[in-house]
Amino acid sequence: MRSIKEIFVIGHGPSSSHTMGPAFACEYILKKYPNAHFIKVTLYGSLALTGKGHLTDYIINLELKEVPHIIQFDKITRTKHPNTMRFVIETEDKHTYRENVISVGGGTILTKDSPFALGESVYPHKHLKDILKYCEKEKITLTEYVERFEGPDIRDYIENVYKAIEECRQRGIEATGELPGSLHVKRKAHDMYLAALGIKDGQKNIHMNMAISSFAVAEENAAGGVVVIAPTCGSAGVIPGAITYCEMKQMPHEKIINGLLVAGLFGIIAKTNASVSGAECGCQAEIGVACSMSAAMVGVAQDFSNNDVAQSAEIALEHSLGLTCDPVCGYVQIPCIERCAMFALKAVNAATLAKLISADTNKVSYDDILKTMYQTGKDLQSGYRETSAEGLARFVKR
């Protein structure tokens, strides 16, 4: 299992699979073929259907600006993975090469040279049940488990993640105007912040401030700003809302960092054994996993036992099953922004419920719910998996 650094990546929105992944794919191609004379890029599946709204063509043009190239959107051909890119590279010595690259979510790509080109295995386990057994045997917490296998620099890495989240949140609160695109969606975080100031005890209302934080970060993402994927760009607003909860409850900063470490662990378990890609498994794989990560973080920050933390994450994901990914016009705006706030609140509720219910009576494990989520995602009609063909994308006026 790879590093949690793969779950928390700092970069430009609005989509880890549609902008970050293609950007890394272009970097891979340029590095492998430094003598490229012409490149043809064909986008399939979700990349073709919602690439315009997700700025996929923009980021590819930016990365390949030094090499003549064309981009084609193939909305007809079916591929094994919905986020498939095909590169046809013509080199200066008149050779032609073909490379398929898959953007699997969270900025990670699959290539024929490496199953996961952005990360190497750092953990000896891949299922939570085995991690919990190991921790019980070693008498360590989940935080200590992460630190043991990630190495001494992981806390500094997560501190930078925390800083980037806070900076993004502040930018989002201060920004006004409309988000990019044809929907003409007005930014709301700034107005929400002002409204809270005008309400008696509004500044002290935890739920209000959680929503403001989630909206601020999700709007920055939609505007193409610098965000922290957690585990994707579209779900980047969930953890910031949960962080606000912890801070307003005056939980120590060190415990919040501990929580983020464990949140990353639950994210990488999900990415390893199921998916964090909306194009592959619907929004349950993005916002649902973000909710489970946030619930685990809240639990760790409150000194929950390992089993209670696991139950927090399981409850959060269990009650996100079946969530569809149907962004209107392909933009990461409706319903994505509001959804981040809703599921930040749900994460806190999941942790609260887990604390009230004995983990010993739990019949469903996190590993079980990941299997369920993945199969549910595969069973969803393609129109509900980030194609903008069904759901809100079909019925909401544009």
- Whether the CB-CB separation of 285 and 293 falls below 8 Å is answered with no
pLDDT in the model for residue 364: 95
Task: Render pLDDT for 215-269 as a digit per residue (tens, 0 to 9).
Answer: 999 999 999 899 999 999 999 999 999 999 999 999 999 999 999 999 999 999 9
Task: Render pLDDT for 152-175 as a digit per residue (tens, 0 to 9).
Answer: 999 999 999 999 999 999 999 999
DSSP designation for 244: H
| 297 Cβ neighbours under 8 A, 6+ residues apart | 239, 242, 243, 246, 256, 259, 260, 262, 263, 347
- Whether the CB-CB separation of 267 and 260 falls below 8 Å is answered with no
| 190 Cβ neighbours under 8 A, 6+ residues apart | 173, 174, 175, 176
Per DSSP, the chain holds a count of helices (H) and strands (E) of 16, 7
Buried b (16+ CB within 10 A) or exposed e, 202-215: beeeeebbbbbbbb
Round the CA-based radius of gyration of the chain to a whole number and report it: 21
Beta-bridge partners for 101: 85
3-state DSSP assignment of residue 38: strand
Q: How far apart are CA 154 and CA 145, in angstroms?
A: 12
- Whether the CB-CB separation of 106 and 271 falls below 8 Å is answered with yes
Q: Cα dihedral sign for 328, 334, 336, 342?
A: negative
Burial class (CB in 10 A: 0-12, 13-18, 19+), 254: exposed
Segments of the chain scoring below 50 in pLDDT: 116-118
pLDDT in the model for residue 106: 76
CA 52 from chain center: how many Å?
19
